[in-house]
Amino acid sequence: MNKKMPNAFLSIVFLFAVTVCSYSQTHDFSLVGYATENGGTTGGTGGTEVTVTTFSDLKKYAETKDTKYIIKVSGVIIGLGSIVNKDYVGSIKVASNKTIIGIGDKAFLDGVGFTIKDAKNIIIQNIKFSLVSIGKAIPAGSEDIPKIYSKLGDEGRPQILVNSGDLISIYGVSTNIWIDHCEFFEEDPYVQKNQDLYDGLVDVKDNSGYITISWCYFHDHHKCSLIGSSDKDLFSDRKITFHHNYYKTIQERVPLYRGGTAHIFNNYAYDIYGGIVNSRVNACVRVEKNYFEKCKNTVYSKNSKISGSAERIDNKEVDCINREEYPATCTVAIPYDYSKSINNKTDDVKSIVTAYAGVGKLK
């Protein structure tokens, strides 16, 4: 019998425990980023706690003004009405001072989108979103269905109109919003090739800012996040942090950013075949310690007469093709402390983000 085996075995166990412990300490799920500025973001903290299982109840509590609510979403919630009867309703206008959080890993807003207009102090966490069920319910060759479907859309292609085609649309004067550990998806863009059938996964427009989008899983879509609706939509306080998000099989807009500043750190992007960070019209974005794999045009500036710029810091590119040049350099002064959140080893970002981004992973 080998008497050294027990000690060797204990050494292996010890090393494994140290590795696991060290690995578990490389991430921090607390709020960090621009949503901590401008007075901070607390959502419905201190308000009434309710659990919802239906669209009607979710809409009632989420749209109630001047009242703090912590709204817990249980299970799958779909919109009201039907495509056949042309009375489908799937949009919820979220009012200020709300926390909307999914229970466990089953909270799914199926065919339901959030609109945040002229609202502030909102937290959305641990929820899956998609409008795919609506897209698949539209009859082949269908004519226009008011507020639900347009045969020609804005660009001559069919378009879903529910919630303007977005999963989350933030506009007007909306500030201090935290979107965390959510999942957003539509259809495989290699198969469903109409880039306009669905619009954005999370779009931000007008005078909206002080937003953090963290630990979310975005996948299977054409146009991920439009920040600024046009080259004239330029808000100086458009400040958004994107960190530890997982982007997979998306054409572009990860994000498309016009005006203002952004901090994009520790994200993992895989199979982004059109372009990742597109900084346009005087935007200045810090792109820091991200892991880009099998992607095209990682950081660039295209399609606007006035270019944007970027501060690129220690990003990793694996099997990426940059047909567009990197944009001009700039410097972003980060006002918040993110030292406990950032993973200093860019090589670790892929494994950490794929393990912890998305629903059911808050702990």
- What is the rounded CA–CA span in Å between residue 21 and residue 6? 22
- What is the rounded CA–CA span in Å between residue 260 and residue 282? 7
Q: Residues 6 or more apart from 144 whose CB is under 8 A from it? A: 150, 151
8 Å CB contact between 333 and 251: no
Closest CA to 329 of 310, 344, 355: 310
- Kindly state the helix (H) or strand (E) to which residue 123 belongs, with its residue range: strand 120-125
Own/partner pairs for 85-88, CB < 8 Å, 24+ apart?
Answer: 86/145, 86/146, 86/148, 88/134, 88/148, 88/162
Q: Are strands 149-150 and 159-160 parallel, antiparallel or unpaired?
A: antiparallel
Closest CA to 281 of 238, 230, 205, 325: 230
Q: Which two tokens stand for residue 26?
A: 């490389």
Q: Which of 157, 238, 253, 258 is catalytic?
A: 253
| 216 CB neighbour count, 10 Å cutoff | 27
Closest CA to 106 of 74, 132, 80, 71: 74
Exposed, middle or buried: residue 154 (CB in 10 Å: 0-12, 13-18, 19+)?
exposed
- Coil/strand/helix, residue 214: strand
Q: Residues 6 or more apart from 4 whose CB is under 8 A from it? A: none
Q: Which amino acid is at 177?
A: I
Q: Residues 6 or more apart from 361 whose CB is under 8 A from it? A: 105, 181, 215, 355
* Active-site residue flag, 253: yes
Active site residues: 253
